[in-house]
Amino acid sequence: MEPEYAQSRQLTDKSDVYSFGVVLFEVLCARKPVNVKLEEEQRNLAQWARRCVREGKIQYIIDPFLMGKISPECFKNFVQVAEKCVRDHRNQRPTMRDVTEKLEFALELQEKADAAKQAISPDGVYVYPDLSFHLVDDHHDHGHGYEVLGLHGGTDFTTTVGSDSVESSLLSVDTESGKTRDVFSDASNSKSQV
């Protein structure tokens, strides 16, 4: 249950967003939202996942079955959406429409990455690289940004995304030239720029 419900005893659309974010983390981490058998700090999945995102440790709590099967860009977007959904204050959570758009975009990223992976390795041997997920201080943003580090096609890349979905920016590295390009800069028109 969302933290604000304990005080207000009122459910809102943002309460549903919070619950959906918990479901997203359940899928990502393959665990129940509350597990009293775990240590105190790990019992509540939403709080634990947010802490792991903040500390750059989310890759350690995701379902190992998913490792290598999700493209880093899709993973980053999925985690970003889930983290925003489970924020403590309702006014910091996105609308369900925003959530839907970002998840559709994450799916598009995965489909494109899968097509590229198929072109690289038609026999299906290629797996997506392990990645790390770190918070970086971004002073021109209204909070913190996320940085995903990993390998893609043998070339290092870094992707930085602002914590506000409207200010998101995804950079991609052309593996042949090594140059970065802006894939999208605004969540509201991300589909048209991909």
Domain ranges of the chain: 5-193
Are residues 134 and 146 in contact, defined by beta-carbon separation less than 8 angstroms? yes
In angstroms, what CA-CA distances link 59 with 79, 104, 178? 10, 22, 26
Please report the pLDDT score of residue 131 as a whole number.
61
Q: Which two tokens stand for residue 61?
A: 């709590």
Q: Enumerate the β-bridge partners of residue 160.
A: 147
User: What is the CATH T-level fold of the domain 5-193, as seen in this structure?
Assistant: Transferase(Phosphotransferase); domain 1 (1.10.510)
Angle, CA 170 vertex, CA 158 and CA 71 arms, to 5°: 70
Are residues 89 and 145 in contact, defined by beta-carbon separation less than 8 angstroms? no
Digit-coded pLDDT (tens) for 13-60: 898 999 999 999 999 999 999 999 999 999 999 999 999 999 988 888
Nearest of 138, 192, 181 to residue 162 by alpha carbon: 138
Residue 176: band (very low, low, confident or very high) from pLDDT cuts 50, 70, 90: very low
Digit-coded pLDDT (tens) for 123-141: 766 677 666 555 443 333 4
Please report the pLDDT score of residue 5 as a whole number.
67
In angstroms, what CA-CA distances link 156 with 107, 128, 146? 23, 13, 17
Which residue blocks in 10-87 are alpha helix, DSSP H? 13-29, 45-54, 72-85
